[in-house]
Amino acid sequence: MDSSLHKHYHDEEFDPKGLVDTYFSGESFPLIDESVGFPLKKLHETFSSGRVKGDTLIDISMGPSVYHLLSASDFFKEIIVIEFTEPNIQEFEKWLKKDPGAAEWSYAAKALCELEGNREGWQVKEDKIRRVVKQVVKWDVSKDNPLDPVVLPRVDCVISFWCLHVIGRDKEAFRSNLRKFASLLNIGGHLILYGAFNMTYYMLGEHKFFFLSFDEKFLREALRDAGYVIENMDVLPSRMGCDLVDCDHLVYVIARKEREV
């Protein structure tokens, strides 16, 4: 299928809760270790080591995501969440308020508790996120200043899972968004990315959605040109156990902002 015919992240067919139910909520997804287990382990290692720290973290990720904030909430006093569409904002706020029918993230919370040997319980983990999330802001891709009229303080950490692949339609948009993310960071602050190499689509229901494909060489060059220095890059071969996605590798990156661009 021609990728130009794929649906896009901002199309009305994108179902935020369907994304969570399909890819993140349990072992029915055959690649659950790649979508949840591996990144949870890497984030736990990153934050517990003390190499990435600060008071405030900005999250700019795909969908109404929670799992990648589980570890962060133990190490940052405040989290600002940036979302890209009203349905995603609404779904995330439903989870914050514990509304009936909200997306389910207990699988990830339980997995992290097991990883940490944490006896407090997964509900405590989730409630900690609810306490430290101080603001949910919309990013408008149609604007040169996508957060206008909101002005956010620069922070020491930006975390971004999957969204750079889906919010732009080409590699130049990817590069532009990397620079915009950098504008939210202090010099010396860190960007944590999770994504995939050589992946062109993901399925939601009957719809095939666009996913920007690139390789390691492109990612390294784009980060360098946006003012980052890569401190760590972990690449995990995908088991390719289903037809819902077509990636061949997952990638976890810690990059430090070295200069303004």
Among 30, 22, 23, 71, which Cα is nearest to 51's?
71
- Lowest-pLDDT range, 17-26, 73-82, 112-121, 137-146? 112-121
Give the model confidence (pLDDT) of 35-57 as tens digits: 999 999 999 999 999 999 999 99
pLDDT confidence bin for 27, thresholds 50/70/90: confident
Rounded to two decimals, the pTM is 0.95
φ, ψ of residue 35 to 5 degrees: the values are -85, -30
Percent of the chain clearing pLDDT 90 (strictly above): 88
Q: What is the CATH number of domain 3-257?
A: 3.40.50.150
Residue 102 corresponds to which tokens in the numbers above? 């909200």
Please write down the HEC assignment for all residues of 171-182.
HHHHHHHHHHHH
Residue 206 and residue 20: Cα distance in Å, rounded?
16
Residue 240 has pLDDT above 70, yes or no: no
At 179 the pLDDT is 96
Residue 140 and residue 88: Cα distance in Å, rounded?
13
At 121 the pLDDT is 87
Taking the domains of the chain in order of start, what are their residue ranges?
A: 3-257
Q: Which amino acid is at 165?
A: H
Mean pLDDT of the chain, nearest integer: 94
Contact 182, 228 (CB under 8 A): yes
Q: What is the DSSP letter of 245?
A: B
